[in-house]
Amino acid sequence: AKMTAVPFEPETKISFVGDVLKRLRATLAGTDATVLGFVGLPFTLGTYLIEGATGTKTGFAAMRQLRESDPQLVADMLKLLGDRIAQYAIYQIDSGAQVVQVFDSWAGHLTPDEFDEWAAPFQRQVVGAIKAARPDTPVIIYMAPDTHSKEGALITKLAASGANVVSVDHTLPISAARELLDEAGYESVGLQGNLDPAILAEGSEEEIVAAAQDILKKMAGRPHIMNLGHGIEPTTPEPSANLFVKTVQEWRN
């Protein structure tokens, strides 16, 4: 099967995104808050296109089936997605995003060999295109903990994407993530994370502060963005989230 691509013009098709980013930058002028852009990466977006959903319930069966029956079509689709995603990220930067975070949320269900074929090349494509066009804009990469990515199993492959920062999930200590990257020659790559969202949702004030400070201590001397190791739980009490932010701000100051 062959694909026919149509031109993508974010300035006209999704101009509301640019408008929001411009308003955010104007509103936050004079503060130390940073405006982040956000894009999915080709493999993860490709699973949504093929599965019509997250694919987690079936183990991404439809994606796997198409990779086996028509690998060239899947490769062409992922390459086109990479072109469009990079274009979208650059549009966000030009509209006011100061950092871009790229997500390959579902790539962790791939084995290491599958990851090298179906995720890594397209991660490098997107990050490389962003860097070529806007070299001064930092890029953060994140992958959710999944069958083959838990406990940092694929973290060095994420660093190989060329991103400035690797976002670490909560299934391994951030000190272990730091060691893995250092041993692989990625000492200059920053780290983001990695408080367990369950601690923020269910922990006492003392537990939240202690866990946050432990991560901050372990990241001393390394470029580090404090964050959770996964998305915030909907049941998280607002005061707990506020405490987390204040703890980090007080540590920094």
185: alpha, beta or left, given left = phi > 0 and alpha = psi -120 to 50? Answer: left
Give the pLDDT confidence score for residue 4 in this predicted structure.
77
pLDDT of residue 11 exceeding 70, the answer is: yes
According to the model, what pLDDT value does residue 5 have? 84
**For all residues of the chain together, what is the average pLDDT?**
95
C-alpha distances (whole Å) from 33 to each of 24, 26, 29, 30, 98 are 10, 11, 8, 9, 10
Q: How far apart are CA 201 and CA 189, in angstroms?
A: 29
Query: What is the arithmetic mean of pLDDT over 86-108?
Result: 97
What pLDDT shows up at residue 97? Answer: 98
Given this model, what pLDDT does residue 1 score? Answer: 67
Res 56: pLDDT: 82
Question: In the predicted model, what is the mean pLDDT of residues 146-151?
Answer: 92
Q: Is a pLDDT exceeding 70 seen at residue 76?
A: yes
Q: Which of 175, 233, 224 is nearest to 200 (CA)?
A: 233
Mean local confidence (pLDDT), 177-183: 97
Three-state SS for 224? strand
